Chain A
Amino acid sequence: MIPTAQFDPASLALWTTTGSLAEPMASKVARAMQLAASGEDPSPSLDGTSGAQRARLLWLTSSVWHEKRHFLDTCLTNYGARRFRSLFNLAANFSPLVAEAMHRREPVWFPVEVYGSAVLRSLLGISAPPDNILGIARAARAMKQLDAQLDAPLGRGEDAVHLGGEAQLEGLAQVSQLHSIEHTFGLQDLLLATTEHVHSLSQRGPYRAIEAVAGALGCADLQGKITRVNTGLASALFVTALCGRFFGLGVDPAPADLVSPSARLSRMLVELGQAPGRYAMSDDEASALVDDVARRLWGRTALEEISADIDAMESKVDLRAAPWLAHEGLSDAYFDFIALRRRVLAAAAQDGLASVLPRAFPTHWRDKLRPWHVVATPGGDAAADGVIVFGRKINVPAGYERIIPELVAWGKLYTSSASESGDVIAPRDRAAWLQMLERQGPRAQLMLNGRQHRRMLAPELERPIEETEALGIPVRFHPRFEWPEPRNQEAREHEAIALAEITGRTRFTCDITGEDIAPTAAAVLTPWEFRRSPLLERFRGDDGNIFKEFQLATDWSDWVVRHDLLV
């Protein structure tokens, strides 16, 4: 299932789509998301709704605020900024890799780490690369290994609790989303969204493990059959845990408790002792407690660590050593990101750690944050209005000009006219970030994992592939990274239930047979899964239908099919 909202740390872009929703819900949600993204009140869009339908609309609308929290934490926390830097480094090394392939008249291979393995090179027929390419490959591999360690859950299998870096970001975003719902829609709507949606998420998973930490800290209160949880202290610990000392770590794959979010969290929990919190604890008190612990353990509070990290980003990276970065917009994006981090830190420093906790998110941050907003239409949009960032011109055959559009858009950029004003927190160098969005971000993804990503728009990764091939350089992939990892039948059927749940549908129409089917009799195929399945030929038939070919070229939405067609 294509997610409805996503944050991309490479381009600082918030992505939304309503492509999987039916009308009139799709238009209602699109309008509400647009308002939430531009810092306006989306509540009138939900007027006249109630029950399960209102719960769905609340969740989808507030998902924009969830992603805005990711934008804040990417700019603010050292772990978040490292995610940007990792992708930046990969994008920065794309051109040297392609130039080397051109020089050697050989294909270019993704992910780049395959160049660093003699076994994989021998298997794939890649000749021994020069030292600079080996260096890029080894750095990429080490970076992925470190990412895996930083994000690893505690424990194994079903006992695992998700408290790694990414899970801590999700915990902060989830709680910020809930505080935002309460702030804008009120307590009753918060209870509705919590009952209908939050309670169906795993308690050990990334979105809710923060509740377990809050409980262990003594910040829960049992009222009859209901347990109320104050996540303030847990959030202060998460923010501080995410502010490790990454700079200077290089590619060392063994993060200590100075660096790793889960190790830092564990260390602080031990230092705090048993149940140091209480349900009625204020965010100011929680923040003072955590600042004190952090200074005792590592000599710096979270905000002091952030300040040092930003200084290191500025002083320790010499982009002049790579002059091509200036031509490709990368240098400008890097320095604009540093400037953005400084503005965010200055705003946070005014009121201290408590001001960046989820309770303060709706009042201090939410409506000032303006990441780039990309509205995705995976099914293709023929309207030529707006700033198209992902799309394709169609070579329309003679005679079909009035039926097939000349241009199909998959992603349009929306930014508020206020994005340059003083009070707003947003990236400012539009040209540089457009490069990151359209070109450098997708390049980084190819370098990292080839095409093996589950993006909102599958064609997003095709542009750098096509541009490279246009230079006469064949693009090749390690077979495990040529396509998104295929899922089993059980996962595809499970996803049909999830799709029905979030869209409020009780029936689907099979995209192959046209039959009306229940969600329990359906399966969801991602666009690449469908194109790589036997159903592709069945869809095409043998009549050379031009409209079907047009659909295959332009429609990158999920396919819903009768589940037994795949068995």
Chain B
Amino acid sequence: MNAIDLTASQDQIEAILALARQHPDVEDVSEPTNLDASKALNVGLPHYTDIEAGLTFITIVFKTGSAGLMFYKALRAEMKRRNEAIAVSDSATGTLKGKLSGETSDDALLKW
């Protein structure tokens, strides 16, 4: 199965879902999964940055092995329009493939 995870803010995820659900190369899309870490409450420490909260990911399954490229290009256009970036990971291993923004090259998209 050719699948990727897209990790983004809730607001970005809604835009990606709208894009993915109407894209012809997308076979299936999972519901958003919240990635928030521990709910323990810590004391404030100077210069200490906790893990970013509010991130969500969705899993996108493509119809064929090569189908992802057109979707990546559509997503790149959306990220360019918003001037934002999202993380792309391998669904099977969770390994980060890279960041997708309006500036991501075709070569990088082809490698994913």
Residues of chain A having any CB pair with chain B under 8 Å: 1, 3-9, 15, 59, 63, 66-67, 70, 83, 87, 113, 117-120, 122-123, 141, 144-145, 147-148, 151-153, 156, 166, 169-170, 173-174, 177, 196-198, 200-201, 205-207, 445, 448-449, 452-456, 478-480, 482, 484-485, 487, 491, 494-495, 497-498, 501-502
1/0 per residue, CB under 8 A from A, across B28-48: the answer is: 111111111111111111111
Known: A123-B59, A145-B34. A169 touches B41 (CB 8 A): yes
Say whether A119 contacts B47, CB under 8 Å.
no
- Shortest CB–CB separation between residue A253 and chain B, in angstroms? 11
- Shortest CB–CB separation between residue B23 and chain A, in angstroms? 15
Say whether B1 contacts A122, CB under 8 Å.
yes
Residue contacts A-B, CB under 8 angstroms, 18 given = A66-B44, A118-B28, A123-B3, A123-B91, A123-B92, A151-B54, A152-B54, A166-B41, A170-B41, A200-B46, A207-B44, A452-B35, A454-B50, A455-B38, A482-B94, A494-B47, A497-B47, A498-B48
Complex formed: what's the CA distance from A173 to B40 in Å? Answer: 14
Count class of interface residues, chain B: 35 or more
- Shortest CB–CB separation between residue A197 and chain B, in angstroms? 5
Given A6-B43, A445-B38, A494-B49, 6 more pairs with CB closer than 8 A: A1-B45, A8-B40, A70-B41, A120-B59, A480-B33, A484-B37
- Shortest CB–CB separation between residue A212 and chain B, in angstroms? 15
Cβ-neighbour of B43 out of A3, A113, A118, A141 (below 8 A) = A3
B contact residues around A145 at 8 Å (CB): 32, 34
Say whether B9 contacts A4, CB under 8 Å.
no
CB closest chain-A residue, reference B57:
A480
- Shortest CB–CB separation between residue B83 and chain A, in angstroms? 11
A contact residues around B30 at 8 Å (CB): 117, 119-120
Say whether B37 contacts A123, CB under 8 Å.
no
A contact residues around B53 at 8 Å (CB): 151
Say whether A9 contacts B57, CB under 8 Å.
no
CB closest chain-B residue, reference A156:
B11
Say whether A201 contacts B42, CB under 8 Å.
no
CB closest chain-B residue, reference A480:
B94
Say whether A9 contacts B46, CB under 8 Å.
no
Say whether B59 contacts A197, CB under 8 Å.
no
Complex formed: what's the CA distance from A166 to B37 in Å? Answer: 13
Q: Does B51 contact A (CB under 8 A)?
A: yes
Say whether A449 contacts B36, CB under 8 Å.
yes
Q: Does B10 contact A (CB under 8 A)?
A: yes
A contact residues around B36 at 8 Å (CB): 144, 147-148, 449
A contact residues around B89 at 8 Å (CB): 480
Complex formed: what's the CA distance from A29 to B5 in Å? Answer: 44
A contact residues around B50 at 8 Å (CB): 454
Q: Does B93 contact A (CB under 8 A)?
A: yes
CB closest chain-B residue, reference A74:
B41
Say whether A4 contacts B43, CB under 8 Å.
yes
Say whether B37 contacts A479, CB under 8 Å.
no
CB closest chain-B residue, reference A122:
B1
Complex formed: what's the CA distance from A485 to B37 in Å? Answer: 8
Q: Does B61 contact A (CB under 8 A)?
A: yes
CB closest chain-B residue, reference A3:
B42
A contact residues around B39 at 8 Å (CB): 9, 83, 87, 147, 166, 448
Say whether B46 contacts A454, CB under 8 Å.
no
CB closest chain-B residue, reference A86:
B39
Leading 10 A-B pairs by shortest Cβ distance: A479-B94, A63-B43, A119-B30, A200-B46, A207-B44, A498-B47, A453-B38, A3-B42, A498-B48, A144-B34
A contact residues around B46 at 8 Å (CB): 196-197, 200-201, 498, 501-502
Known: A8-B40, A480-B94, A498-B46. A141 touches B33 (CB 8 A): yes
- Shortest CB–CB separation between residue A433 and chain B, in angstroms? 17
1/0 per residue, CB under 8 A from A, across B70-96: the answer is: 000000000000000000010111100
Complex formed: what's the CA distance from A207 to B5 in Å? Answer: 33
Say whether A170 contacts B44, CB under 8 Å.
yes
Say whether B31 contacts A4, CB under 8 Å.
no
Complex formed: what's the CA distance from A66 to B45 in Å? Answer: 12
- Shortest CB–CB separation between residue B96 and chain A, in angstroms? 8
- Shortest CB–CB separation between residue A88 and chain B, in angstroms? 13
Cβ-neighbour of B47 out of A153, A455, A484, A501 (below 8 A) = A501
Say whether B47 contacts A200, CB under 8 Å.
yes
1/0 per residue, CB under 8 A from A, across B52-65: the answer is: 01101101010000
Residue of B3, B29, B49 with highest tally of chain A CB at under 10 A: B49
B contact residues around A479 at 8 Å (CB): 91-94
B contact residues around A478 at 8 Å (CB): 94
- Shortest CB–CB separation between residue B47 and chain A, in angstroms? 4
Say whether A491 contacts B49, CB under 8 Å.
yes
B contact residues around A206 at 8 Å (CB): 44
A contact residues around B41 at 8 Å (CB): 6-7, 9, 67, 70, 166, 169-170, 173
- Shortest CB–CB separation between residue B61 and chain A, in angstroms? 6
A contact residues around B59 at 8 Å (CB): 119-120, 123
Cβ-neighbour of A67 out of B43, B56, B92 (below 8 A) = B43
Complex formed: what's the CA distance from A502 to B43 in Å? Answer: 12
B contact residues around A119 at 8 Å (CB): 28-31, 59, 61
Complex formed: what's the CA distance from A482 to B29 in Å? Answer: 22
- Shortest CB–CB separation between residue A330 and chain B, in angstroms? 18
Complex formed: what's the CA distance from A395 to B51 in Å? Answer: 36
A contact residues around B42 at 8 Å (CB): 3, 5-6
Complex formed: what's the CA distance from A484 to B52 in Å? Answer: 12
